[in-house]
Amino acid sequence: MKAFAALVAREVRLAWTGGGLWLPVVFYLAVATLFPFVTGPDKALLARTGGGILWIAALLATLLPIERLILPDRQAGILDQLAMRGWSDELVATTKIIGQIFAFALPLLLATVVGSALIGLPEAQLGTLLLGLALALPALSGLSVTIAALTAGLSGASALGGLLLVPITIPLLIFGAGTLSENPGNAMQLLAATALAITALSPFAAGAALRAGRT
Amino acid sequence: MSSRQAPLPSISVDNVAVIRGNRIVLRGLTVAARSGDIIWVRGANGCGKSTLLRLVAGLLYATAGSIQTEGRIALADENLALDANLTVEKALMFWADMDGASADARSAALADMDLQGLAQVPVRFLSTGQRKRASIARVLTSKADIWLLDEPYNGLDSASCARLDQAITAHVATGGIVLVAAHQPPSINLAHSLILDRPEADA
């Protein structure tokens, strides 16, 4: 358990020192800041569309850390050393996903409070938006680790990662946007179910990808 | 008399073949190593030295044949496996925590590889030889029974080579096993020398 915690802590530390922690947050807030420049300062329009924009910004921010999640560890031999110590690839993937939840999902949730204020989202919607993102961000963390494992070492990995991630996140986006409607109940349940399934399956998918990439 | 608990470390590679892509890397290879053995694995470029080490480490699967090992294994290859932004001491501490090794083991490894003066230097600032010494210190810290060293003398000065030889000698004296894949012979008196032939180019 101590070793597991040490690996998760290492992920958070790497995110912090490698810029992986603040970069998605800055990107996320930049989108929230830029959006009113495009639409104009129409409060009603911003209130109606702002939540959806933050959802899309969160999905796109997921792409930013992908290149640093697996490839550096594979190149440095860290993954080999863990495998030699009996760590299953699924368990290694789990530590990386949990690390992403701490280093990516939680900061993004905090940034949502700031981002919603920048967009002028009604306070009533902020709670729903936070709940929806809190459900979806662990799934997005799992997907980012899985896609990082799949594309590590491939040429054009970041572009390929984007092409893979965006279609997979469509259900999360649809149900997430649905939670912002006047009756969010059903959409929230579907979002929770989808996010839970993705979060639960991603360690296995990422583990298989790590194993396949070993040379 | 050895203080190690039974079973003693051992390596048994039996009639192993490895095909990678359309190339036979190893064929009909049989290696047996017992507690106290040092094996110098040598051969031309591409003859499968590193592949043999990765097979024994369990990082590759053999196409045919069987590999059995007894005892904990540590590998030092061309990958440093130390976080570049950490100091040498902290990077070693990470693996010491993973292995449940003591702070004393880490300090002893730093001393054995003459790294005390570099303990607070970030790994990314180390020279090639210093990186190699840090990599070997990681192996020393692990307290593994079987050491797999891939080109461990590359980049080392003569004093560091002597230190490594000293560490290898001490390790096998306590019942460990060392496989050294290298072009240059280690200066220590070796028990075995395994010569790998260059395999055929195509499967």
Give pLDDT tens digits for B100-117.
888 888 888 999 999 999
> Nearest chain A Cα to B58, which residue?
A84
Nearest by CB to residue A84, choosing from B73, B80, B100, is B73
Sign of CA dihedral B195, B200, B201, B202: negative
Q: Distance between CA atoms of A57 and A51, rounded to whole angstroms?
A: 10
Predicted TM-score (pTM) of this structure: 0.88
pLDDT of A120: 84
Question: What local confidence, expressed as pLDDT, does residue B51 receive?
Answer: 92
* pLDDT number for residue A64: 87
Which residue is closest to A89 within chain B, CA to CA? Answer: B59
Decide if B57 and A76 are in contact by the 8 Å CB cutoff: no
Nearest CA in chain A to B124: A76
Task: Of A108, A136, A98, give the one whose Cα is nearest residue A12.
Answer: A98
CA distance B169 to A133: 58
Owning domain of residue A128 = 2-212
pLDDT for B12 equals 93
pLDDT band at B20; cut points 50, 70, 90: confident
- The more confident residue out of B88 and A24 is B88
Tell whether the model's pLDDT for residue B202 goes beyond 60.
no
Question: By 3-state DSSP, what share of chain B in percent is helix, strand and coil, each rounded to 5?
Answer: 35, 25, 40
**Successive 10-residue mean pLDDT values, chain A, 215 residues:** 89 81 87 84 84 91 89 93 94 96 92 89 89 95 95 84 90 92 86 96 96 82
Of A141, A113, A112, nearest to A12 (Cα)? A141
Is A214 at the interface with chain B, CB within 8 A? yes
Reference B88, options B44, B143, B126, B48; nearest CA is B126
**Distance, CA of B122 to CA of A161 (rounded, Å):** 31
Would you state the pLDDT for residue B203? 35
pLDDT at position B78 over 60:
yes
Q: A1 contacts in B (CB within 8 Å)?
A: none
Contact B83 A10 (CB under 8 A): yes
Mean pLDDT of the B155-184 span:
90
Contact B57 A80 (CB under 8 A): yes
Q: Which of A111, A92, A102, A96 is nearest to A66 (CA)?
A: A96
Distance from CA of B71 to the nearest CA of A (A): 11
Q: Which residue has the higher pLDDT, B188 or A108?
A: A108
Residue B2: the pLDDT is: 47
Contact list, B95 vs chain A (CB under 8 Å): 81
At a CB cut-off of 8 Å and minimum separation 6, what does A38 contact? none
In whole angstroms, give the CA distance from residue A183 to residue B31: 69
User: Measured between beta carbons, which residues in chain A are less than 8 angstroms from residue B78?
Assistant: 77
Q: Cβ of A84 and B59 within 8 Å? A: yes
Torsion-angle region of B202 (φ positive above 0: left; ψ -120 to 50: alpha; else: beta):
beta
> CB within 8 A of B18, min separation 6: which ones?
B24, B25, B26, B27, B48, B51, B55, B60, B62, B63
Tell which residue, A58, A68, A51, has the closest CA to residue A27: A58
Which residues, in sequence order, are bridge partners of residue B20? B23
Q: Which of B73, B81, B94 sits opposite A77 (nearest CB)?
A: B81
Q: Which tokens in the block code for residue A46?
A: 């911003």
Q: Is the pLDDT of residue B121 over 60?
A: yes
**Residue predicted with more confidence, B6 or A142:** A142
- The token duo for A157 is 């990995």
Residue B54, pLDDT > 60, answer yes
Q: What number is the average pLDDT over the span B58-62?
A: 91
Number of structural domains in chain A: 1
